[in-house]
Amino acid sequence: MKKEDYHFSYEVYDSINDLTGQDALLLSEARKVTASAYAPYSNFNVGAVAELENGEIVKGTNQENASYPVGLCAERSLLASAASLFPNVAINTMAISYNNVNGQSNRPISPCGMCRQSLVEYEERVNKPIRLIMSGQEGKVIVVEKADALLPFSFRSEDLK
């Protein structure tokens, strides 16, 4: 038996005020776009905003459905829009925020497993990492240099060959 470790580094900021201008702008927009989410069942509104390599800004929100498996997370909503509107254009940075209508929104949360897999596939497709900025409506901010770091044992296209 051989034991191995997996480690990755990330940055933690006390607030949006500690971010650079563009990062603060993306996070501010992600916080605002949560208002456009359709989340009547969970009341957990999620927004994602990305800056693409070509300078375009794309937004996504979670879209719930009474048949729960039919819903779509904000991150995957954004990825689908980006891929449709700007095929094969890499995403430089994606900011993700949420507004928990029934509680607090003051700590960072990370993408769900399905979104992590989708983010890794997008990175693989365009051959560039996606930097993630994660925060609630206020409070600490976490920055991860590549989405791949959140899913070290991802299923990849090469596994199907």
- Catalytic (active-site) positions: 75
SS3 157: helix
Helix (H) or strand (E) holding 119: helix 113-126
The structure tokens 């729960």 sit at 68
What are the angstrom distances between the C-alpha of 133 and each of 5, 41, 67, 81, 84? 25, 26, 30, 19, 23
Cα 99 to Cα 9: distance, rounded to the nearest angstrom: 26
Q: Give the pair of three-digit tokens for residue 102.
A: 């029934």
